[in-house]
Amino acid sequence: MNKKDNIKTDPVKEQIFGSEIEPEESFIEKLKNIISQNRLAFFSLIVIILIILCAIFADIVCVYNPYTQSLKDRLLAPSFAHPLGTDELGRDTLTRVIYGARISLTIGLIPTFISMTIGTVLGLIAGYFGGKIDFAIMRLADIMLAFPSLLLAMVVMYTMGGGLINIFIALSLVNWASTSRVVRSETLSLSKKEYVEAAKSMGVNNATIIFRHILPNCIPTLVVLFTLSIPSAILSESSLSFLGVGAQPPTASWGLMVVSAKKYLFTQPVLVLAPAIAIMIVVLAFNFLGDGLRDVLDPYLKEQ
């Protein structure tokens, strides 16, 4: 069958340009193209979806309970019953790695979302209104960016004590500054666009301009930034937990699992490697996906 028959062509365009113009690609065609150009990103997306499904249905997927200790089964080598062996308290490692995905993914998604929302709002305000507000927000961002992020998160954890909820707060507070800078510069260039000028001259109020005309144009950049910020949040959580100022035992967090298995590095390396490789896979997948999304959504960032 002829390809052209399949696809609906625009009758007006055809009248103007004759039948020589290429028919527009359908959505599925476009999707196929995008996927074939970014196979790695697509593969990563599938891996991420699988991990998310595992994390959500951990209760069904896992045979064991991640917190039930069984001292007679401690430090078992990998076997059919325990594919990744058991830890020093007889808990099944595979089960704990799967439950750990819950923590790492929530840490990766929620605090990143919160900090990006804060950053976006501040960036929009700074870029749109300019002047003193802009100056104040950007100097605050400068200050936040001057801190080594891990140390700042450690200070927040010192103040509030360890625990998952506090990691949420720490990571939400720490990482907004870079987003606000990016959004600000996007806003600055978008506010000079004709349609924003037009809206202003028609007397549309500022909030509507920001949310109708400017924010939607920032979304592609934000999606890319979001995907690429998830891995660093996951790494921060595991580092904090590894240093003992993050999640507290017996939580099945990957960073915590690595640190408690560190003693057995030389006798049973799988205990250390399993959670560490899990972190690596998730981080790599999000990095690949982010790179792919950037190529598709934001050719400008790609040039940079």
Note whether 258 binds another protein by CB under 8 A: yes
Asked if residues 112 and 179 have their Cβ atoms less than 8 Å apart, the reply is no
Q: How far is the CB of 57 from another protein (least distance, A)?
A: 26
- What per-residue string of b and e applies to 89-113 under the rule 16 or more CB within 10 Å gives b? bbbbbbbbbbbbbbbbbebbeebbe
**Which residue's CB is nearer to another protein, number 23 or number 130?**
130
**Type and span of the H or E element at 174:** helix 164-174
Note whether 159 binds another protein by CB under 8 A: yes
Q: Is 180 exposed, middle or buried (0-12, 13-18, 19+ CB in 10 A)?
A: buried
- Contacts with another protein by CB under 8 A: the residue count is 42
Q: How far is the CB of 176 from another protein (least distance, A)?
A: 14
Distances 273 to 9, 196, 266 between C-alpha atoms, Å: 55, 53, 11
Stretch that binds another protein, among 15-23, 69-77, 82-90, 152-160 (CB under 8 A): 152-160
Note whether 231 binds another protein by CB under 8 A: yes
Note whether 155 binds another protein by CB under 8 A: yes
**Which residue's CB is nearer to another protein, number 62 or number 281?**
281
Note whether 4 binds another protein by CB under 8 A: no
Taking the CB of residue 8, how many other CB atoms lie within 10 A of it?
A: 9
Note whether 149 binds another protein by CB under 8 A: yes
Task: State how far the Cα of 82 lies from the Cα of 80, in Å rounded to an integer.
Answer: 6
Stretch that binds another protein, among 70-78, 195-203, 213-221, 267-275 (CB under 8 A): 267-275
**Which residue's CB is nearer to another protein, number 61 or number 133?**
133
Note whether 244 binds another protein by CB under 8 A: yes
Residue labelled with tokens 């062996």: 85
> Under DSSP, is residue 204 helix (H, G, I), strand (E, B) or coil?
coil
Beta bridge partners of 86: 92
Note whether 235 binds another protein by CB under 8 A: yes
The residue ranges that bind another protein (CB under 8 A) are 139-140, 142-143, 146-152, 154-159, 231, 235, 238-239, 242-245, 255, 258-259, 262, 265-266, 269, 272-273, 276-277, 279-280, 283-284, 287-288
